[in-house]
Amino acid sequence: MSFHKNHWLLFSVIFFGYIALSWIAAIGPAIWVQDHTRALPGSAPMTPVERRGLQVYIAEGCIACHTQQVRPLKMDAVWGRPSAPGDYAHLKPLDIWQPYAPAVLGSERTGPDLTSIGTRQPSETWQYLHLYNPRAVSPDSVMPAFPWLFEVVANAPADAVVVPVPPAYAPSAGTVVASDKARALVAYLLSLKQVPLRASGANNAAAGTPVPPENATAGAEGATLYSNHCASCHQANGRGLAGVFPSLANNPVVVADDPAPHIATVLHGAQGRTIEGMTYPAAMPAFADQLTDAQIAAIVDHERSSWGNQAPKVTAKDVAAVRKGEAK
């Protein structure tokens, strides 16, 4: 009996050979990886709202311009530590028709990596404004606007999320409120936070790699640090956004002889102050965990000597003193 004339035998060998090879080369290893990848300690599973936000993220094509993967390269260090399989363990198939984990890794970085956007830009107000029109907060942005995630209403209901759009970008009449989709998307974005790898994490080749402090590559250069951490809200020219983020030019706290309130604001954030007769809907995030004393001193100095401001210099010691005093 010759093998090539018995079509049943020929077919079976090819068919089962194909299945066996697929199992050995692809399906088996994939299942092994899935079983051996545990979510990192300290990371939280996605809430239902965040999962809906992930669906909006995919549907709106954010993946076309944004990655969620930090490569083990020096140029990627600004985004955090190198990504590990455990970082993606909470991504589950969205439904029965999409039986694979959603591909949020991305391959194109027209915009910044979003692995840790929830840490880098924790302000909901900023995120809403930026989605409504990126130019409102980031004047040279090429990111498309997503106005269809918002509604313009005459009277915002009490439970609505009102977006304080600066006049230049606001519709001629009405109030901009976030739709459920926008709320879910922002909840998802704010949930994107890298957690440290533990040395014991069995699943990660890169286990034990210390988390590089944010801006490990940048020195304590005030102007650079300001543009990385503060300019998204207070803007490069220090003038903020009318009605949304206060101006730091000639701001009484910034130019005061005593730098302590200014330093304390940067360390611990602020909310609900009346600043030069205005109150602001957004909150200022705290930077105590992200920036060293020397970095904060450099930023504060930069603010105190830019945009026409002239106030005495501060040192890392001043920052350390405020940090200690407030911690008590």
* Out of 273, 312, 317, 325, the residue judged to bind ligand HEC by CB under 6 A: 273
The encoded tokens of residue 173 equal: 């009449």
Closest CB to ligand HEC among 37 and 189?
189
Q: Is 170 left (phi over 0), alpha (psi -120 to 50) or beta?
A: beta
One-letter amino acid at 118 equals G
Closest CB to ligand HEC among 15 and 148?
148
Report d(CA 60, CA 191) in Å as an integer: 18
Q: In sequence order, which residues have a C-beta less than 8 Å from that of residue 171 and are 6 or more positions away? A: 152, 165
Question: What phi and psi values does residue 11 have, to the nearest 5 degrees?
Answer: -60, -45
Point out which span in 11-19, 29-37, 208-216, 244-252 binds ligand HEC (CB under 6 A). Answer: 244-252
Q: Is 129 in the site for ligand HEC (CB under 6 A)?
A: no
Q: Is 120 in the site for ligand HEC (CB under 6 A)?
A: yes
Q: What is the dihedral of CA 297, 303, 309, 311, to 10 degrees?
A: -10
* Out of 232, 292, 305, 309, the residue judged to bind ligand HEC by CB under 6 A: 232
The encoded tokens of residue 2 equal: 């010759």
Nearest position to ligand HEC, beta carbon: 111
Q: Is 189 in the site for ligand HEC (CB under 6 A)?
A: yes
Least CB distance to ligand HEC at residue 290 (A) = 8
* Out of 67, 123, 133, 194, the residue judged to bind ligand HEC by CB under 6 A: 123
Name residue, tokens 């286990």: 207
Point out which span in 12-20, 173-181, 228-236, 306-314 binds ligand HEC (CB under 6 A). Answer: 228-236
CB 222 within 8 A of CB 150: no
Q: Is 282 in the site for ligand HEC (CB under 6 A)?
A: yes
Q: Is 61 in the site for ligand HEC (CB under 6 A)?
A: yes
CB 137 within 8 A of CB 128: no
Report d(CA 127, CA 114) in Å as an integer: 12
Name the residue among 242, 258, 249 with its Cα closest to residue 303: 249
Q: Is 144 in the site for ligand HEC (CB under 6 A)?
A: yes
Q: Is 249 in the site for ligand HEC (CB under 6 A)?
A: no
Q: What residue ranges bind ligand HEC (CB under 6 A)?
A: 57, 60-62, 64-66, 110-112, 114, 117, 120-121, 123, 126, 134, 138, 141-144, 146, 185, 189, 229-230, 232-234, 245-246, 248, 251, 253-254, 262, 265-266, 270-273, 275, 280, 282-285, 287, 299, 303
